[in-house]
A and B are shown apart, each in its own frame.
Chain A
């Protein structure tokens, strides 16, 4: 029986540029760290071998859309086509910017937002948008 899995209810935090939290508008976050596999198999080998290439990280977020001042649209509109930092953590740190081994801050530095759905309206439903944040230098803050 798995006893150390993580059940996410309302705890995770999404911090844009180390200052702006979108926690109260976010309902799903998935950060995948990828190191591209470069094949290095050579004559004489009987198995395929790979070495690490570039990191190619990706963070997807599902956010409720709001056009009010300081909410989702205004927070993200200024980021489209720019490089910025984002930190996702299992819980919001008690002290801003202070993470730990049990609550690591997964950081993408100089990541990129290529596109932003500016409206996604369906009658009778809360408006949500999915965004994909690409690239950036990955690090983990456990200090």
Chain B
């Protein structure tokens, strides 16, 4: 089962997993994804994700 990460205070604590209850139907999930309120866990950045150092562009 896919996990979803909350992006908006309107649907829960931001950054945490969406709590699935009887109201979270397929239709509701589709809406929340479309409106950007949640993202699939696999697509959301995690706290442990390492960031690559920025490469500065230099003109030669």
The total of chain B residues at the interface (CB under 8 A) is 17
- Decide: B28 and A18 in contact? CB cutoff 8 A: yes
Please name all residues of chain A whose beta carbon is closer than 8 Å to the beta carbon of B7 when the two chains form the complex.
69-70
10 additional contacts, CB 8 Å, given A19-B24, A84-B27? A19-B10, A19-B23, A19-B28, A19-B32, A20-B8, A20-B10, A20-B35, A70-B8, A78-B31, A82-B31
Please name all residues of chain B whose beta carbon is closer than 8 Å to the beta carbon of A134 when the two chains form the complex.
none
Question: Does A137 belong to the interface (CB within 8 Å)?
Answer: no
Name the CB-closest residue of B to A84: B31
Please name all residues of chain B whose beta carbon is closer than 8 Å to the beta carbon of A66 when the two chains form the complex.
none
| Secondary structure dominating the interface of B | loop
Question: Does A61 belong to the interface (CB within 8 Å)?
Answer: no
Query: Per-residue 0/1 for B21-38: is the Cβ within 8 Å of any A Cβ (1 yes, 0 no)?
Result: 111100110011011110
Please name all residues of chain A whose beta carbon is closer than 8 Å to the beta carbon of B22 when the two chains form the complex.
97
Query: Per-residue 0/1 for A66-98: is the Cβ within 8 Å of any B Cβ (1 yes, 0 no)?
Result: 000110001101110011110000000000010
A111 to chain B, nearest CB (A): 12
- Decide: A97 and B23 in contact? CB cutoff 8 A: yes
